[in-house]
Amino acid sequence: MSRSRRIRAEATAAWHSFLRRKTAVFFTFFFPVLLVVIFGVLVRTQPTDGGLFAEPAGYYLPGYLATVVLFTPLSRVGSEIARHRDDNRFEKLATTPLTRGEWLLAHTAVNVLIIGLASLLILGLVLLLTTASVPPVVGLLLLLPFIVLAVVLFCGFGALLGRLADSQDGVIAASNTIALPLLFLSDTFITLDQLPAWFGPLVDLSPLTYFARGVRAITYTPGEPYATELGVLAALAVAFFVAGAYAIPRTD
């Protein structure tokens, strides 16, 4: 069996496994809907009042998208590795030609599809429920590399968590502990001028910061350069994917 067929077979199995978990499917798409409704509709932005959510609605689109590119890969890939380990599946996989990198690539592809659909849902809700505007379709196509690279990065990160955590519950706890601070301290929902001066440089250490700034440059401030953010995100995506693939156990 060729490499492409191995990856396709594993991706197909992972996709059907996701669809069989109705609760996971529901909350994967319901969570971003809830986020947009709460922050975009119920907590309306007041640009002249200052404080949290004081920027125009379009400013927060990167934060909504960051939610799905961060939480979904961390929890799904980490939990999948923990589940495979608990069910002794890695011993069986070790007897097949499927490599660790191919396994992670297949599951990353499924996450790209899932998060791509969730991102389209978020874009539609933001346009429908808020005053935000987004660039035309050609401009939106520029979002694709940012979304794909962010998913690759956090799938690799999720694989590391799956290896380090000793159970599925441990993966969920670890992913939430890491993802929640990153979500709000990566130039997404909280602006830099609302943080202490000493904390500002630490924001640049978050991988999610480069996703948020790149997406904002495309959707909120068209014409602002984003090549640096894309380059950093690409380098981090490669590094985390390689580390995640190496961390996947071959045996239990």
The residue written with tokens 């979904």 in the block is: 72
**Within-domain flag for 252:** no
Domain span at residue 22 reads 3-247
**Within-domain flag for 18:** yes
Stated length of the chain: 252
Residue 127, classified by CB atoms within 10 Å of its CB into exposed (0-12), middle (13-18) or buried (19+), is middle
**Within-domain flag for 114:** yes
In sequence order, which residues have a C-beta less than 8 Å from that of residue 7 and are 6 or more positions away?
A: 102, 105, 106, 109
What is the C-alpha to C-alpha distance for residues 97 and 64, in angstroms, rounded to an integer?
39
pLDDT in tens, the chain (252 residues): 688 888 899 899 889 988 888 887 888 888 777 877 777 666 655 555 555 677 888 888 899 999 999 999 998 999 889 888 877 777 777 778 888 899 999 999 999 999 999 999 888 888 888 877 776 666 678 899 999 999 999 999 999 999 888 788 888 889 989 999 999 899 998 888 888 888 888 999 999 999 999 999 998 887 788 999 999 999 999 999 999 999 988 765
Q: Do the Cβ atoms of 16 and 106 come closer than 8 Å?
A: no
Task: Tell me the whole-structure pTM to 2 decimals.
Answer: 0.90
- HEC states along 34-75? HHHHHHHHHCCCCCCCCCCCCCCHHHHHHHHHHHHHHHHHHH
Number of domains in the chain: 1
**Within-domain flag for 186:** yes
3-state class percentages of the chain: helix first, strand second, coil last, to nearest 5: 75, 0, 25
**Within-domain flag for 113:** yes
The residue written with tokens 């959510």 in the block is: 53
